[in-house]
Amino acid sequence: MLTSVNRSTGWVGNERRQFQVAGVSFALKVTGVESGGACAVVEVTVPPNFAGPAPHLHERTTEVFYLLNGVMAFTLGQETTIARPGDVLRAPPGMAHRFWNPTAAPATYLAFLTPGGFEQYFVELAERFANEPSWPPGNVDQLLAIGAKYDMVPA
């Protein structure tokens, strides 16, 4: 059963629903637990000129990106494209991909993740690196270990 988020706190019960990592805002809309493991939906807002993650892939997770506002660049496999509001992009398991915001304005997209569970990568990053003075963090091995735990593999 899905539960409504308390808009003033961003929490459902004891679960934090909104947080930031390296200037990127995340809002958990549906978690893997709530969907019985089927999927997760995360709203992501990236700041202007955000460099994005290094190329990576997932062995089990499909990511579908739906751009709500702003402009984002995506590299999926060997192809790079500029996405605008309403555009949908898909990174199936095994496809190397990355994304970034090449503009001076923020951009927001919905990430649809199947199966659910990968959204916990963002949650753990936020918890682990909340007090990190710079990004990427000083201990990159820790970052890679978190990624490996949640099906994020460097490409």
Let me know how long the chain is: 155
Note whether 31 and 37 are within 8 A (CB): no
Averaged pLDDT, 95-104: 98
Helix (H, G, I), strand (E, B) or coil at 34: coil
* Cα separation, 108 vs 110, whole angstroms: 7
Task: Measure CA 30 to chain center.
Answer: 13
**pTM of structure:** 0.87
Q: What is the pLDDT of residues 42-94, one digit of tens each?
A: 999 999 999 999 999 999 999 999 999 999 999 999 999 999 999 999 999 99
What Cα–Cα distance (Å) separates residue 36 from each residue in 1, 97, 118? Answer: 9, 27, 14
The answer, yes or no, to whether the previous bond of 115 is cis (omega within 30 of 0) is: yes
Lowest-confidence range among 2-16, 51-65, 78-92, 114-128?
2-16
The model's confidence at residue 133, banded by pLDDT at 50, 70 and 90, is low
- What mean pLDDT value characterizes the chain? 89
Averaged pLDDT, 112-131: 91
CATH number of the domain located at residue range(s) 18-154 in this protein: 2.60.120.10
Averaged pLDDT, 21-40: 93
The model's confidence at residue 122, banded by pLDDT at 50, 70 and 90, is very high
Residue 141 sits at φ, ψ, to 5 deg, of -60, -40
Sheet holding 40-46, edge to edge: 18-21, 24-30, 40-46, 107-114, 62-69, 88-91
The model's confidence at residue 129, banded by pLDDT at 50, 70 and 90, is confident
Q: For residue 97, give the nearest of 70, 66, 65 by alpha carbon.
A: 65
